[in-house]
Amino acid sequence: MNENETALTKIKKPSLFYGYTIIVASFFIQAIVWGTSNSFGIFFVPLISEFGWSRATISGAASLCFLVHGLASILLGNLNDRFGPRLIMSACGFFLGLGFLLMTKVNSVWQLYLFYGLIAGIGLGGIDVIPLSTVARWFKKKRGMMSGIIKVGTGVGMFIMPFFITWLLKGYGWRTSFAVLAVIIMVSVIFIAQFLVRDPIQKAQFIDNRNSHTTENLNKTEEGLTFQEALHTKQLWTVCAIYFIILICVYTILIHIVQHAIDLGIPVAVAAGLLATIGGVSISGRFLMGGAGDRIGEKSALFICLLFLLTALCWLQAVKTLWMFYLFATLYGFAHGGFFSLVSPLIARLFGTKTHGLLFGIVIFCSTIGGAIGPFVAGYIFDVTHSYKIVFLILAALCMVALALTTSLKPFRWNRV
């Protein structure tokens, strides 16, 4: 009798499906880490004030962080496939906390790039790929909705953390703020990571908490293409290209929207509230579009999100007053939330879950190249032109390309039912 057959004989309907524990744990990791990371733009003002660095210089550190995060996602996704999430996520929490703690000692540009760009970037690499790849193995029928619920955590964090960080900066300065955030991240992520479990087999349970299975069905958490098979498909690289463009748009907005609002006369504290608005509205996008992916397919749901993004970017060309910024934040926030709820289920639907973590890591890496390029180039364009107008026009054009690529995306015969 093999290991899976032994597990099968022990499985019975549990009083509580452990998959829901995975959802709750992942939710809080997303809220704490992405809520903090996506608020990095708030630190621009104190860093520029103290060191006189350009926006391109500071944006470059954020860009390096995104790039390292993407590269680390490939390795961490592969390690998660092999060894499970508990140890790998704990290591991520350590590196993230260490990076933020070292930021309290920053006095030069190379330190900014090393501490935030490299060390924190390594820790950030597992924050999406580990929990979302894990939940893809615990749920199938409601995979999109459950992924959406996890990503709601990011929206909650983006809603809360800008206000919390602004309060820290006003009361204690940017160095102490980084120290406080370091402790919160390291302690909470390492603690919560202990609740993560790779797949239902390790808890003697079934995917989707079903009552009875054959041994064949027990292995459905590992269905799909092998890594080599997926690597040679057009679909994988199309998804990579789509999310490469999406991340250019997303991280350019997250890093620069606060400064753009300040340039137009919006007070710093109010401008920081735009990030909170984006985070708050993204909650609905994450939940609704994650569930929509289960019903109408991730491709159709992704197309809708891109339409919202294009509308927001076109509107941004005319934004000048506070109410116009909030309308932009509402349109953009909905799209933002949907993008991150759909990517993991889309990969699972197209390629299965056999090597989901590794494939997800590749998509994250390709997309974060966009996330690295976007903020830096936007900062450079602003430094040259003293305006974001050209930046926003470029983002709108790229969004139209992503819409065309999404239309061309076709499913495989193997996963049609």
pLDDT in tens, 68-95: 988 898 888 888 888 889 999 999 999 9
Average pLDDT over residues 226-245: 88
* Domain boundaries along the sequence of the chain: 18-200+220-410
* Average pLDDT over all residues of the chain: 85
Distance CA 395, CA 203 (A): 45
Question: What local confidence, expressed as pLDDT, does residue 380 receive?
Answer: 86
Confidence of residue 218 (pLDDT cuts 50, 70, 90): very low
For residue 293, what are the contacts with CB-CB under 8 A and spacing of at least 6?
Answer: 144, 148, 301, 302, 341, 342, 345, 346
CA distance to 125, 137, 348, per residue, from 131 (Å): 11, 10, 14
Radius of gyration of the chain (CA): 21
Confidence of residue 215 (pLDDT cuts 50, 70, 90): very low
CB 59 within 8 A of CB 376: yes
Q: What are all long-range contacts of 228-235, with beta carbons under 8 Å and residues at least 24 apart? A: 230/351, 230/355, 230/359, 233/351, 233/412, 235/350, 235/351, 235/409, 235/410, 235/411, 235/412
In single-letter form, the type of residue at position 38 comes to N
In single-letter form, the type of residue at position 338 comes to G
CA distance to 140, 215, 353, 361, per residue, from 414 (Å): 16, 20, 13, 22
290 or 330: which carries more pLDDT confidence?
Answer: 330
CB atoms under 10 Å from CB of 232, counted, come to: 9
CB 146 within 8 A of CB 207: no
Confidence of residue 222 (pLDDT cuts 50, 70, 90): low
The residue assigned the tokens 């809520």 is: 35
Question: What local confidence, expressed as pLDDT, does residue 214 receive?
Answer: 46
Distance CA 376, CA 255 (A): 10
Distance CA 135, CA 137 (A): 5
Distance CA 399, CA 308 (A): 10
Give the CATH architecture of domain 18-200+220-410. Answer: Up-down Bundle (1.20)
Question: What local confidence, expressed as pLDDT, does residue 101 receive?
Answer: 95
Kindly state the tokens that stand for 169. 């900066």
CB 32 within 8 A of CB 157: yes
The residue assigned the tokens 């639907």 is: 349
Question: At residue 180, does pLDDT exceed 60?
Answer: yes
Q: What share of the chain is helix, strand, coil (3-state, %, to 5)?
A: 85, 0, 15
Q: Which of 44, 142, 133 is nearest to 89 (CA)?
A: 133
Kindly state the tokens that stand for 305. 């999100």
CB 256 within 8 A of CB 383: no
